[in-house]
Structure 1
Amino acid sequence: MAGHETHYILPRPAFDKPVKLLIVVAPYYKDIADNLVAGAKAEIEAVGGTWELVEVPGALEVPIAIAMADRMCNFDGYVALGCVIRGETTHYDTVCNDSSRAIQLMGLQGACIGNGILTVENRPQAEVRADPAAMNKGGGAAAAALHLIALGRKWGASTKGVGFKPLSESIQLADKGNGTPTA
């Protein structure tokens, strides 16, 4: 295996109010999934957050469960976990692309999701990426969700400055000179 390139990791965000995340995992490869979950839990707990865990049959069901929870529950963010190992058919491409696309679309609609669904060529690649003592991709996915939650709280609390405001707060219509607004 080639050496690991080093990269910058953002410092953990700080929260003045508690955060609660939903970890959604597809335990198809149970040992790999367990390591991903362990990394995610540790990262969430390191910022004083709490979590709930649900299991779904496969990677394609992960975004569906997140979408359901986002509509029905009150979580601050989500951690998507699972592992897809390339096989002999094109099913690998479908699962990787569709699960990733669904997660990305929900994120673009405002859900704070860290994507830790591994897409690898073989089991050894998955094992090193899932291991909390190695690449810790579960922890990385939780960290991504936490950073998005922090941004949402920062920008959601903003009440002045740049950006658009509703018409009633930012624009006064001119009048005809007699106190009657123009149409």
Structure 2
Amino acid sequence: MAEAETHYILPRAEFDKPVKILIVVAPYYKAIADNLVAGAKAEIEASGGTWELIEVPGALEVPSAIGIAERMSNFDGYVALGCVIRGETTHYETVCNDSSRGITLLGLQGLCIGNAILTVENMTQAEVRADPDRGNKGGGAAAAALHLVALSRKWGASRDGVGFRPARDEYQIAADMKSTPTA
């Protein structure tokens, strides 16, 4: 079982000024969600940060809530929590893939997100991974978000995202720079 595996864990992130984290949880499996939240809260508080908690209906709504919060509030980072247990239909794959894809796309835009939307085969796996004294995936997701916040602060906290950005008032053709008319 994954619980018995050992792996390297980065030292706890440290901050000169407090960090404000939004925990977004889908409490479909309430006991699992409560354990994930407990682990996340403990990790955030251990780093001297503060947190707010919101609940959404399901795992598919977690990325949307994070996107809304990023546009309309002032959080340094986000923790995505929930649990999807395999059932008898392909709905499991859809929820797992799309919630993960949404969170990844937000992260690639520059948001600092730790993801602990558990994707498991059964309730026993979920219980082990969510338990703060065993798998502590909620705490791990909070630690990931905090490490990304630390990197963002180290590198100047750019909020414009990453990736390709077209020139606003110029273009280049065959190494010849030309200005475009501005309106």
| TM interval, short-chain normalised | 0.7 to 0.9
Q: How many residues align?
A: 159
Task: Name which one, 1 or 2, has greater alpha-carbon Rg.
Answer: 1
Which residue in the other structure is 2:115 paired with?
Answer: 115
Which residue in the other structure is 1:21 paired with?
Answer: 21
Name stretches of at least 5 consecutive residues in structure 1 with no aligned partner.
Answer: 159-182
Corresponding letter in the other structure for 2:85: I
Moved over 6 A (4+): none
Would the alpha carbon gap of residues 57 and 8 (structure 1) be closer, same or farther in structure 2, given more than 3 Å must change?
same
Corresponding letter in the other structure for 2:36: L
1:22-54 residue CA offsets vs partner (Å, 9 max, x unmatched): 000000000000000000000000011000000
Report SS of the residue matched to 1:13: coil
Corresponding letter in the other structure for 1:98: D
The Cα of 1:4 is off from its aligned counterpart by 1.6
Please report the RMSD computed on the Cα atoms of aligned residues, expressed in angstroms.
Answer: 1.5
Which residue in the other structure is 1:104 paired with?
Answer: 104
8 A Cα contact 2:3 2:134, kept in partner? no
Which residue in the other structure is 2:69 paired with?
Answer: 69
Which residue in the other structure is 2:176 paired with?
Answer: none
Q: Distance in 2 between matches of 1:34 and 1:157?
A: 31
Q: Distance in 2 between matches of 1:130 and 1:66?
A: 21
Question: TM-score, structure 1 length as denominator?
Answer: 0.84
The Cα of 1:157 is off from its aligned counterpart by 6.7
More strand by share: 2
Indicate yes or no: 2:126 matched with 1:136: no
Q: Distance in 1 between matches of 2:136 and 2:20?
A: 20
Which residue in the other structure is 2:30 paired with?
Answer: 30
Would the alpha carbon gap of residues 90 and 146 (structure 1) be closer, same or farther in structure 2, given more than 3 Å must change?
same
Report SS of the residue matched to 1:60: helix
The Cα of 1:5 is off from its aligned counterpart by 1.5
Name stretches of at least 5 consecutive residues in structure 2 with no aligned partner.
Answer: 159-178
8 A Cα contact 2:21 2:50, kept in partner? yes
Report SS of the residue matched to 2:59: coil
The Cα of 1:55 is off from its aligned counterpart by 0.2
Question: TM-score, structure 2 length as denominator?
Answer: 0.84
Q: Map 1:26-65; keep pairs closer than 5 Å.
A: 26-65=26-65
Q: Distance in 2 between matches of 1:6 and 1:120?
A: 19
Which residue in the other structure is 1:175 paired with?
Answer: none
Report SS of the residue matched to 2:4: coil
The Cα of 1:2 is off from its aligned counterpart by 6.7
Q: Distance in 1 between matches of 2:114 and 2:128?
A: 19
Identity across aligned pairs (percent)? 83
Q: Distance in 1 between matches of 2:101 and 2:42?
A: 27
Q: Distance in 2 between matches of 1:152 and 1:17?
A: 13
